[in-house]
Amino acid sequence: MHREQLFSTTSGSRVREEIQPTLPLPIAHGLLGASVVAALRPSSERQAWKPLLIGAFLGIAPDFDYALNWLRISWGGWHHGFTHSIPFALLVGFIVIALFRDWKLRSYLVFTLAYASHTLLDFIFTESRGVALWWPFTNQRYKLRLPGLIEYSWSHASVWETLVDVLQICLLELVIFGPILLAVLWVRHVISSRTWKRSVPPAVAGGCAALKQVGAVIAKYTRQ
């Protein structure tokens, strides 16, 4: 869908302003990819922020096909093509675990799903001709096109107006998708805390509680 608006200037002339619908921006895709990793990764992993960064990168990565359009390779038309397909997501998941030499099935599924989250989001909300879900088996495009909470369009009347509109969209994505990541992290923290309490022997748990009480007493008297 392509929309145009006409508006009048102070001189009375008619100026055309283009508003072109688009899709979720990297903020939404990155936060969703990180949320997938946060929900599925093992809670015992150290340096948990690294998998989240990888998940955010994978959530954004399918849109690198824009580079093929900018380079005018085969006359463009690459967006929502092979990089947005499910088979390509399976391949990317394998490449990631090979790069990090992490051959666990769970890691493969986590990174594959983080990448595929981008495809799912575009499939649900795209206003374009659709997403090539099953490339290379078929080039047919698929889309669900549900109404979204954000109107992905911006003005091209001036650079400043374009920048303001894009920043507003980014802030809306942060407001909507940021809490999803925070909620997933909080739930995983609560679950891991309860699991730790159940798995710790009573003697160890009692010792930790005693040390906590001793620390509180020492802190109380040092303030006096």
Give the number of domains in the chain.
Answer: 1
Nearest-angstrom CA–CA distance, 14 and 103: 62
Nearest-angstrom CA–CA distance, 205 and 201: 6
Nearest-angstrom CA–CA distance, 202 and 24: 49
Position 69 pLDDT exceeds 50: yes
126, 28, 148: which is closest to 80 by C-alpha?
126
**pTM given for the model:** 0.74
Q: Each residue of 138-192: pLDDT tens digit? A: 999 999 988 877 877 777 778 888 888 889 989 999 999 999 999 999 998 888 7
Per-residue model confidence (pLDDT) at position 151: 77
Pure H helices in the chain: 26-40, 49-60, 66-70, 86-99, 105-125, 159-199, 202-223
Q: Each residue of 18-47: pLDDT tens digit? A: 444 456 789 999 999 999 999 998 866 656
Higher pLDDT, 87 or 224: 87
Nearest-angstrom CA–CA distance, 72 and 150: 30
Higher pLDDT, 85 or 150: 85
What average pLDDT does range 90-97 have in this prediction? 97
CB under 8 Å, gap of 24 or more: what pairs does 90-96 form? 92/58, 92/61, 96/54, 96/58
CB of 115 closer than 8 Å to CB of 58? yes
Per-residue model confidence (pLDDT) at position 67: 78
Position 91 pLDDT exceeds 50: yes
Per-residue model confidence (pLDDT) at position 223: 57
Q: Give the total residue count for the chain.
A: 224
Per-residue model confidence (pLDDT) at position 135: 93
The domain in which residue 143 lies consists of: 3-223
Per-residue model confidence (pLDDT) at position 224: 57
Confidence of residue 215 (pLDDT cuts 50, 70, 90): low
Count Cα neighbours of 217 within 13 Å in the Cβ-side half-sphere: 6
Per-residue model confidence (pLDDT) at position 68: 76
Q: Which two tokens stand for residue 137?
A: 């088996």
SS3 209: helix
